[in-house]
Homo-oligomer: A and B are copies of this chain.
Amino acid sequence: MSDAPPPDADTDPDAVPPAPTGTRGALIRAGLHLFGKTGFAATSTRELAEAAGTNVASIAYHFGGKDGLRRACVEEVARRFQAVLGPDPAPLPDDLPAAAAQARLAFLTTAMIRFLLGRGDGEEVPAFLLREVLGEPALLDIVYDRVIAPRHADLCALWGRASGQDPDSPAVRLGVFAHLGQILYFRLGAAIVTRRMGWDGYGPAEIAAVEARILATLNAALSRGDPP
């Protein structure tokens, strides 16, 4: 009933699975777009099929049903994050200097901003993800365990090294969350930001302006460890 896809990508943890293709891929892309834009329940299977250029029955065939497509979209989100940030990060070398840690933080920040704000795979990821976070938290586990938690830990290690703080301290963890929150807001609140800025979407110049602003705040926050 739902044994079409060959599942053997979970055994190799370091490999980033390829992007889904064909009708299956088209449906996932349509789901990611429509679920994120309108919501899961608000998107009908007929809309999904039309957006993917196929028939309604394909959803049941490939994913077992509408809910299976949702699950596949969550996994696709995880895959896209892996594709941008690389496979799971290695532990930090002990002799990494603070300046190098700060530079890598800046690099990852820039990569994230360009991924989320620019045209491409990242554009519709946060909206979809947020709907999952706000609604039923069951499916969030997949993304949290496979992407968020290890990435956040990596960023905390870098942040701690760069600022001379304990990477496991609440202050560092909150600092990383607040830092990421800025980036996500520029995507989720794009409608508000671009209107207030007088922009017509995020072009290269606009992305560069956001980058400059967030990197400046990052460096300022890192230089000042907050007093106890």
Q: Count copies of this chain in the complex.
A: 2
Please give me the residue from chain B that is nearest to A193 by CB atom. B177
Decide yes or no whether A57 CB sits under 8 A from chain B. Answer: no
Could you tell me if B196 and A152 are in contact, using CB atoms closer than 8 angstroms?
A: yes
Most buried by B among A38, A137, A140: A38
Check A148/B181 contact, CB under 8 A, given A42-B42, A213-B174, A216-B226.
Answer: no
Set B130, B173, B185, B196: member contacting A181, Cβ < 8 A:
B185
Contact code string A166-177 (vs B, CB < 8 Å = 1, else 0): 000011011101
The majority secondary structure among interface residues of chain A is: helix
Q: Which residues of B contact A192 (CB under 8 A)?
A: 133, 140, 144, 148
Q: Is the CB of B191 within 8 A of A177?
A: no
Distance (Å) between the CB of A186 and the closest chain B CB? Answer: 7
Apart from A144-B195, A170-B197, 18 more pairs, CB < 8 Å: A37-B135, A39-B39, A40-B42, A41-B42, A130-B134, A133-B188, A137-B191, A148-B192, A152-B196, A171-B209, A173-B196, A174-B210, A175-B217, A177-B196, A179-B182, A181-B182, A182-B185, A216-B221
- Residues of A near any B CB (own CB < 8 A): 36-42, 127, 130-131, 133-135, 137, 140, 144, 148-149, 152, 170-171, 173-175, 177-186, 188-189, 191-193, 195-197, 209-210, 212-214, 216-217, 219-221, 223-224, 226
